[in-house]
Each structure stands twice: as structure tokens, then as C-alpha cells.
Amino acid sequence: MRIPLSSPDIGESEIQAVTSVLRTPRLSLGPKLEEFENSVAGYTGAAHAIAVNSGTSGLHLCIRALGIAEGDEVIMPSFAFIAVANAVRYERAIPVFVDVDSETLNLDPGKIEAAITPRTRAILVVHTFGCPPDLSPIFSIARKHGLLVIEDACEAIGAEYEGRKVGPLGDAGVFGFYPNKQITTGEGGVIVTQSSQVAALARALRNQGRSKAGEWLEHGELGYNYRLSEISCALGIEQLKRLESILKRRDRVAREYHRRLSGNAELKLPPVDVPGRRISWFVYVVRLGARFTQRQRDWIWREMASRGIGCGRYFAPIHLQPIYRSPAGPRHDLSNTEWSAARSLALPFFNNLKPAEIDEVCQTLQELMQAAPD
């Protein structure tokens, strides 16, 4: 693609940091892991940070460490990446999908209580596209019903809710650092929590069930190889140092898109300002107007690609994925999810996107909207 959907921002300091690790004998479970974890904990205000090899692994360990098990129900949005539901099903728990609000595409607090049953154990909130949901009513509902709250903040490092950084606000949270994220470790993620118990168990589970005090070949838990390498941690340390400047740049890109597209009445744009919240822009997703069908959205997506412009169809609803289609269990109204998912289009979005490229994307999109076949 001439203008890709995403592109990692790797500088000379990152290259030097990775090279330095390669000159040492410690490529796993070394000092860079501890430094990266401490840096993330300090930045987010978490008591504990546990680095893992992906955001998906982090979500899985949160489910395990919080004691969510077979038959338990976890409330979550369907408008999200499939990993949130998969992590729940790894433990034979049950994802319960609740609709999103029509503005931020986050879990709608007004729809949660109707989905609570005696088997509900947790609410898994997703900070969709880097914008936090309205957390206060969600936390109130959780306290009222004795539920855990897990934050999928994989798209939202640096985002804030009422002046506090997301991630460690619930019982546990997870950041993701895939190459399309705000910052990257290549592959990787970090669990954050204020709970010493959750942190200790997550650390053991990521390293084949070994406890910190145990011998190398002593395993107290059924664990996994979810470790993050020293190379990845070194990259993450350098990326995190630049995070605030990166977030400011991404905010400017989002506002440039908004300025160029706000005059088009057939586009619903993401809000650039939400009271009480700081958005950490992951992607810039527009929604086509009511006259457009999913088939027309897909035609525009293919035409953009044919002109060298990468776009994404974010997100396909989880409940409509083949593996999750089932008549069994309760089915709640997901009309906002289905309507928005059929018309959503993620535009090219990354740190170093140039104004001329934004112009081309916006102009091409609007031309194709006019030309879309019936």
C-alpha cells in the first residue's frame, strides 16, 4: 500500500536498545523485563505490571488469575476484537454480549444490568479504539452486584478517565503492543493491577507455573509460556519514553481528519473530545450514513485498496463470527453493534501520516462514496 493502514514508528534509539540486548547473554527474564514492567507501572499508576507475549495472553491470565472458571458468565461488547471473547472461552467461561452506545462504540452502561444473571462474575470493558467508556456507572453496577471489572486497554495506553490512566482502574487490565498500536514491542502486552495476589499468580502462570520463590523446575500452577523477551522489552522501554509525544501527534492526525471530513453529512465521525476522558488514538474509524449498505462499504474498502490506500473493516461483531454463532443461551439486543459494524471503515492512521496523505485519503473516500453502486 502506498498509504498503509498502520505503520510502526521505530527510531534509532530503539534499534540501539535492541542491538545492545543482543550483545548480552540475557535474552529472557532479565533486567530489561523488570525495567519495562516498572516503567509501565509508573506511567499508569499501577502497583504491579506483568509483561507477557501478547495482549491476548494478558487477557487470558487475567481471567485465570481472577478465578473465572467453567460456567461463569462475563459481560462484554461484541463490537471488539475476538480475543476478548476467546480469552474467556479458554477457561470454559461464557461471553455474554451487550450492545454498545452509538457515539463512542463502547459498552453501553444502560444495557448491562439486563444481562446480569446469578452466574455473572465479571464485566470486561474494552476501551474501543483508545476511547474509554463511561466507567463510573459500570463500576457502580459492578459494586452493586459483586462483579469483577477487567479492562481491555490493548488499544488505549495513555488514555484517561476523569484524570486517571486506564488499565489499573478495575481489578486487572491489559495493554497490547502489536505493531499497529500506539507503541510496539513487536508482539507483546502488559497486565496491570493493584492486587498483589493477582500479580503473583499472573507472574507464575506466564512462566510455566513457576513461583518467584520456587526452583526452576518446580511448578506450582498449570502455567503457560507467555514470557516476553528481553529484546521486546528493550524496544518497549524506548517506545514508552516517547509515548506522550506520540499521543500528541496522533491526536493532531485525528483532528486533521475531523477537519477535512466534518462537512460531509453522510459520515459519522468519532468524537475528538469526550468530557472527562482523554482519547489515546489507536485508529480513526468513520461510519457511513444510513443509505449505505455493508456491501457498498466493502466496495469502497476494495476500491481504496486498489488505489494503494489501506483501510480496515473494524470490527466484525464477535457474535456473528462462525465460532460464536449459536442459538443457545440468551441473546440480547445488539442493534447498534450490527448497524455500526456494517458501515465502519478504519482510515490510514499512524504517527507519521503526512497532511498530503490525509488529503488524498479524504478526497478518495468521498469520491468513492458518491460513486458507490446501488
Residues known to be catalytic: 181
R_g over Cα of the chain: 21
DSSP state of 106: S
Say whether the peptide bond before residue 292 is cis (omega within 30 degrees of 0): no
Tell me how far apart the terminal alpha carbons of the chain are, to the nearest angstrom.
Answer: 27
SS3 at position 299: helix
β-partners of residue 75 are: 96, 123
Rounded CA separation 235/36 (Å): 9
Give the number of other Cβ atoms within 10 Å of residue 215's Cβ: 8
Residue 150 near residue 123 (C-beta atoms within 8 A): yes
β-partners of residue 190 are: 51, 175
Residue 346 near residue 313 (C-beta atoms within 8 A): yes
- Sign (positive or negative) of CA dihedral 171, 96, 165, 233: positive
Q: Which three cell numbers stand for residue 331?
A: 441473546
Give me the DSSP letters along 193-260. ES-HHHHHHHHHHHBTT--TTS-TT---S---B---BHHHHHHHHHHHHTHHHHHHHHHHHHHHHHHH
3-state helix, strand, coil in the chain (%, to 5): 40, 15, 45
Which residues make Cβ contacts (< 8 Å) with residue 373, sequence separation at least 6? 296, 299
Q: Residue 147 burial by CB count (10 A; 0-12/13-18/19+): exposed, middle or buried?
A: buried
Residue 1 near residue 308 (C-beta atoms within 8 A): yes
